[in-house]
Amino acid sequence: MIDFDPSTFGLAHTYQKEDKDEINTLALPSAPQVIYKTLNGPTQINGGNKLTNFKHGTTTLGFVFKEGILLAVDSRASMGSFLSSEQVRKVIEINEYLLGTMAGGAADCQYWLAYLANHCRTYELKNGSKLSVAAASKFLQGILIGYRNSGLSMGCMIAGTDTTGQHLYYIDNDGMRLKGDIFSVGSGSTYAYGVLDNHYRYDLSLNEAVELGIRAIYHATHRDTASGGVVRVYHIHKDGWTKVHDGIDVVDLHYQFAKQKGLVGDGDEAKQRLF
Amino acid sequence: MDSIFGLQGGDFVIVACDGSIAHSILKIKETEDKILKLDDHKIFGISGEGADRNSFGELVHKNHCLIRYKTGSYMNLQETAHFVRSMYAQAIRSRDGPHQCNGLLGGVDSDGTPSLYWLDYLGSLQKITRGAQGYANYFLLGLLDNQYKPNLTKEEGIEIIKKCIKELQTRFLIAQNKFIVKIVTKQGIEAFTI
C-alpha cells in the first residue's frame, strides 16, 4: 500500500520504504542483535535439536564381564565452549566396595554420592553387614524420585561388589534405575556404544576388558567435543575395586592407535589434494 | 513408546511387553521386564516412563502384599483391578499429579477363570478380552480383533501373540527386537522372551 506523502505528490516515483525512513524518520542506530544461546556445547552445532540434547558433556562407561566390572571414564569438564578442566575425577569412590560414575552436574553427583556413602557407612555400623549394591542404588533412586522436578542433573552408574556378586546399575535424575550388563552415559556415549557393542563378550579377560574400555573412551573423546582429557579405568572384583589406570592421555592414545594401523594420525587418511 | 499387549483365552491370560528402554536417541537397555508379578497368579504389565513405571509398580506390589498380610488371603482379580484403579484415582488431583503410566492387569482366579483388565493413568478400568497400551494399539487391535475367538487354547494364544510381535516389528517405526511374554494359567506363570 503506497503512502502518499505530500512532498512526493506528482512525481512518478516508486515509493521505497528505505527512502522514506531515511528522509522522514530518525531511526535508532542499528545494534547487533544479541541472541542468548544456552550453554550446551554440542547442541549448538545441531541448532539446539532437542533429540540430541545431551546435557551431560562427558563419556563414562561400565560393563560386566567374567572377572567383575570394568568402569572407564574421561576427564573433561566443559562450560559451553570453555574447557574448565581436563583432569576431573569422574569415578567417585563411595567406599571400598562401591564406585559411582559422574555425568551431568558435577555438584549433584558429588554431593549425592557422598550422601550415599554416609548412608552406607551408617547402615554398616548399625547392622553389622555391608549394604548391597541393589539396596544402595535403590536408596539413591528414592532420593532422586523425591527431587524429580527440582532440576537435578545426574546420569550416574553405581557399580560394586557384595555377597551376591558384582552388579552394575544405571540411575538418572528422572528417577530411573536399571540393572544391566553394559551402560555408557554422556554426550559421547553413542560413540562409545559403537565400539563397546562390537567387541563386548562376557568372557573377556581382564586385559582385554581394560583395552576395550580404553578404546571405547578414546573413540568417544575423539569424536565428541565435550569429552577428552585422560582415561581413568577401574576394575571391580569380589574383593572390592582397583584403580587400573589413573590417567592415560587420549592424545597419546590417538597416535598410538594410529601407529598400530600404520597411519600417522594427522587426519589426512583421505589424502585430499587440492592441486 | 512401550508396547504392552495382552489376550485372554479359555483358561489363560497372556501379557507381552517390549524390552527396550530408550533415552532420547539411545536404546539403553533391551531386556527390561515391564510385566510385574503381583503374586503366583497375577501379572501387571505397565507402560510409561522409567521412574513412574518403576515406582507405581512397586507401590502396587507392596500394597498388594500388605493387604494379603492384613486380611490373611489373596485378593481375586476383580478386587485387585479395582484396588489398582483406586490407587490411580487417588493420585489424580494430588500434589504430584497422576501416576504417569498405564497398565494391563491379567490373571487367573483360584477357580480357573481368567481375566484381563485395561487400566489408565486417570483411573479408567475396563475388563477386556484383548487389548494393548500405547502405540501398540494402532497396530495390534485390528489383528487381535481379527484373530480372537472365544475359548482360545494356550497354543493358539501364543501363536496370536507371535503374530502381533511380527506385526510390530514390520510396521512400527521404532525397532523393538526383544519381547517378554508372560502367560498365567491355573498352574502359575510361565515367562519367555521372543
pLDDT for B102-138, tens place per residue? Answer: 999 999 999 999 999 999 999 999 999 999 999 999 8
Return the residue of B nearest to A146 by Cα.
B96
Return the residue of B nearest to A50 by Cα.
B24
Would the CB atoms of A180 and B24 count as touching at under 8 Å? no
Q: In whole numbers, what is the pLDDT of chain B averaged over residues? A: 93
pLDDT at B26 over 50: yes
Interface with B, mutate which of A59, A172, A178 (most B CBs under 10 A): A178
pLDDT at A156 over 50: yes
Edge-to-edge strand list for the sheet holding B42-48: B35-39, B42-48, B101-108, B114-119, B125-128
Would the CB atoms of A51 and B24 count as touching at under 8 Å? yes
pLDDT of residue A35: 47
B29 touches chain A (CB under 8 A): yes
Distance (Å) from the C-alpha of residue A18 to the closest C-alpha of chain B? 47
- Least-confidence region, from A24-38, A113-127, A244-258, B111-125: A24-38
Distance (Å) from the C-alpha of residue B105 to the closest C-alpha of chain A? 22
pLDDT of residue A56: 66
pLDDT at A45 over 60: no
- Least-confidence region, from A47-51, B68-72, B149-153: A47-51
Query: Which A positions 87-106 lie with beta carbon below 8 A of chain B?
Result: none
**Span B3-18, average pLDDT:** 96
pLDDT of residue A37: 44
Distance (Å) from the C-alpha of residue B32 to the closest C-alpha of chain A? 8
**Rounded Cα–Cα distance for residues A81 and A93 (Å):** 29
Residue A210's nearest CA partner among A179, A242, A188, A187 is A242
How far, in whole angstroms, is CA B146 from its chain's centroid? 21
A45 touches chain B (CB under 8 A): no
Q: What is the dihedral of CA A175, A179, A181, A187, to 10 degrees?
A: 0
A39 touches chain B (CB under 8 A): no
Name the residue among B25, B31, B50 with its Cβ closest to that of A174: B50
The predicted-structure confidence for B143-191, as pLDDT tens digits, reads as follows 998 999 999 999 999 999 999 999 999 988 888 889 999 999 999 999 9
Split into its structural domains, chain B has a count of: 1
pLDDT of residue A47: 44
A180 touches chain B (CB under 8 A): yes
pLDDT of residue B25: 86
Q: A275 versus A63: which is more confidently predicted?
A: A63
What cell does B107 get?
490373571
Confidence of residue A46 (pLDDT cuts 50, 70, 90): very low
How far, in whole angstroms, is CA B23 from its chain's centroid? 22
B177 touches chain A (CB under 8 A): no
Share of chain A above pLDDT 70, in %: 80
CATH number for position B11 = 3.60.20.10
Helix (H) or strand (E) holding B37: strand B35-39
Burial of B194 (0-12, 13-18, 19+ CB in 10 A): middle
Helix (H) or strand (E) holding B164: helix B154-171
The predicted-structure confidence for B34-57, as pLDDT tens digits, reads as follows 999 999 999 999 999 888 999 999
Query: Is A58 in the active site?
Result: yes
pLDDT at A39 over 50: no
A204-214 burial code (b ≥16 CB/10 A, e <16): bebeebbebbb
Residue B97's nearest CA partner among B115, B121, B80 is B121
Other beta carbons within 10 angstroms of residue B193's beta carbon come to 12
pLDDT at A26 over 80: no
Interface with A, mutate which of B1, B2, B21, B24 (most A CBs under 10 A): B24
Confidence of residue B63 (pLDDT cuts 50, 70, 90): very high
**Rounded Cα–Cα distance for residues B36 and B58 (Å):** 9
The string of DSSP codes covering A114-172 is HHHHHHHHHHHHHHSSPPPHHHHHHHHHHHHHHTTTTT--BEEEEEEEETTEEEEEEEE
Backbone phi and psi for residue A155, each to the nearest 5 degrees, phi listed first: -130, 85
Other beta carbons within 10 angstroms of residue A121's beta carbon come to 14
pLDDT at A221 over 50: yes
Distance (Å) from the C-alpha of residue A179 to the closest C-alpha of chain B? 9
The predicted-structure confidence for A53-93, as pLDDT tens digits, reads as follows 455 689 999 999 999 999 999 999 987 788 889 999 999 99
pLDDT of residue A24: 55
Residue B25's nearest CA partner among A54, A78, A175 is A54
Confidence of residue A5 (pLDDT cuts 50, 70, 90): low
Q: A170 versus B1: which is more confidently predicted?
A: A170
> Rounded to 5, what percent of chain A is helix, strand, coil?
35, 25, 40
pLDDT at A33 over 60: no
pLDDT of residue B103: 95
Return the residue of A nearest to B28 by Cα.
A183
Residues in chain B: 194
Name the residue among B25, B29, B55 with its Cβ closest to that of A175: B55
The predicted-structure confidence for A234-266, as pLDDT tens digits, reads as follows 999 999 999 999 999 999 999 999 999 888 888
Residues of B in contact with A42 (CB under 8 A): none
* Active-site choice (A58, A59, A161, A221): A58
Backbone phi and psi for residue A133, each to the nearest 5 degrees, phi listed first: -65, -40
Would the CB atoms of A51 and B25 count as touching at under 8 Å? yes
Q: In whole numbers, what is the pLDDT of chain A averaged over residues? A: 84
Residue B179's nearest CA partner among B1, B22, B16 is B16
Hey, what long-range contacts does A198-201 have (CB within 8 A, 24 or more apart)?
Answer: A200/A63, A200/A65, A201/A65
Its domain, for residue B166, covers 3-193
A146 touches chain B (CB under 8 A): no
The predicted-structure confidence for A164-196, as pLDDT tens digits, reads as follows 999 999 999 999 999 999 999 999 998 999 899
The string of DSSP codes covering B45-90 is EEEE-HHHHHHHHHHHHHHHHHHHHHHSS---HHHHHHHHHHHHHH
Interface with B, mutate which of A56, A176, A191, A202 (most B CBs under 10 A): A176
Q: B161 versus A48: which is more confidently predicted?
A: B161
**Three-class SS state of B17:** strand
Contact A219, A195 (CB under 8 A): yes
pLDDT of residue B125: 96
How far, in whole angstroms, is CA A40 from its chain's centroid? 11
